Chain A
């Protein structure tokens, strides 16, 4: 299992050919209280960089982009009732969707934990 990051503050935790996507702790802190999360539909085919989800804070809406290309296989429906989970537990309970990775080579171009940490100092 390995976790990669985008410069837009998404993470993707890869197990086999499936990645679990959410936003980093740094991102949730920047956004503030999340009040609504719009998730993609299961089965949706995304290209790397496509808008995949939207998180709404009290003040503004922010797009969440697909870190890699693939097909959405599951979404975290718990966020519909409890969007604040993105703040409280962004990298576990606050995950947003799972994606079946279609271009594994794209993962290599993402940041590793150290590279991402450098971005957010």
Chain B
């Protein structure tokens, strides 16, 4: 992405807080955001794994899709709103329980990925969905969603609000002290919660591999919420740098890097996001390709690599043991929790077995690499049996 000049950049409602905290501001997804605070990426990363990290993710795209003519029958209204978005994605939205959040993919007709996103069923309002998309793709995504809404539903983007993520083992203790009701949420559940005079939309989700929450808050109360969370000594602000190293260790794909319009869910090892009901109905974009790939007819797959020596960054070639180029790194860097270099990349199916010895080319030199199970660092989500 070309770097926009600083005056073109949008600011989140927390921009002043980042500057005041000494955040190093960089352009990201069209926004001016902190890549790190003075303590640095390594310390921020480790703090999030051990305590609780607070992230400004207001650049992302939260939105609501609400059925216009509701019947009053909750099941029918949910089915009607789900039917509007399902043609765009591979997830089972009709089957969501009230308050359930699902990770799914927006697909093109050839089965490539337009975005990865969260779609959630309102716990309170039948016929309403809460949808959060990525920053870099939000204009295109929102246009597709608005078109899908047609005259049957209202599509409302709420990306002028603030979106905060509180992540780490202490996140639940910190947030419960302010909003006791959040302890009832399990991983991938959400609800509306009162905090002072503000109604927060809180989901138990995130993109670090840790337990944690994402909080949608009005712009006017965002700084107050930020300060209230940071008042707890277990919480520190975390920049984009550690956000990236945390999600990389958790082997969570980053759109525009590990996912793009050519990459299918099966190639990206996101087969779980293609819901059973949708598979059986084969009624999603690119179904023919994706279902064939699921049966094993695929040429490449996303894998995790441990790299010896210098980190292999995005764009580094992956070589087989004989030195032949077989693939490319799509995300790579140093894993602070592991103290070594890790990478995500795509290789042909025959090279994807755990333990396969490969190489990566860094500055023209081949370095040893090995396929390892992902996530690199185990996920620690708080799953509730329902």
Which residues of chain B come closer than 8 Å to A32, judged between CB atoms?
36, 40-42, 241
B41 cross-chain contacts in A, Cβ below 8 A: 32-33, 57-59
B77 located at the interface, meaning its Cβ lies under 8 Å from any Cβ of chain A in the complex: no
CA distance A85 to B42 in the complex (A): 15
Give the residues in chain A near B333, CB-CB below 8 Å: 58-59
Cα(A57)–Cα(B258), bound, Å: 21
A32-B36, A36-B309, A36-B310 known; A58 and B336 CB under 8 Å? yes
Cross-chain pair count, CB within 8 angstroms: 43
What string of 1s and 0s marks CB contacts (under 8 Å) between B259-296 and chain A? 00000000000000000000000000000000000000
What would 5 A/B residue contacts be, using CB atoms closer than 8 Å?
A32-B36, A33-B43, A36-B334, A58-B42, A60-B313
Is B241's CB under 8 angstroms from A36's CB? no
User: Contact between A61 and B245 (Cβ–Cβ < 8 Å)?
Assistant: no
Given contacts A32-B41, A36-B334, A59-B41, contact A54 B363 (CB under 8 A): yes
Residues of B within 8 A of A60 (CB): 313
Contact across chains for A56 and B334 when beta carbons are under 8 A apart: yes
The 4 A-B pairs with the shortest beta carbon distances in the complex, nearest first, are: A33-B42, A35-B334, A58-B41, A32-B40
Chain B interface category by residue count: 20 to 34
The answer to whether A58 touches B334, judged by C-beta atoms less than 8 angstroms apart, is yes
Tell me the minimal C-beta distance from A80 to chain B in angstroms. Answer: 10
CA distance A80 to B40 in the complex (A): 21
Q: Is A38 an interface residue (CB 8 A)?
A: yes
B67 proximal to A (CB < 8 A): no
Interface assignment of B347: CB less than 8 Å from any CB of chain A: no
Near B by CB (< 8 A), chain A positions 32-72 give 32-33, 35-36, 38, 54, 56-61
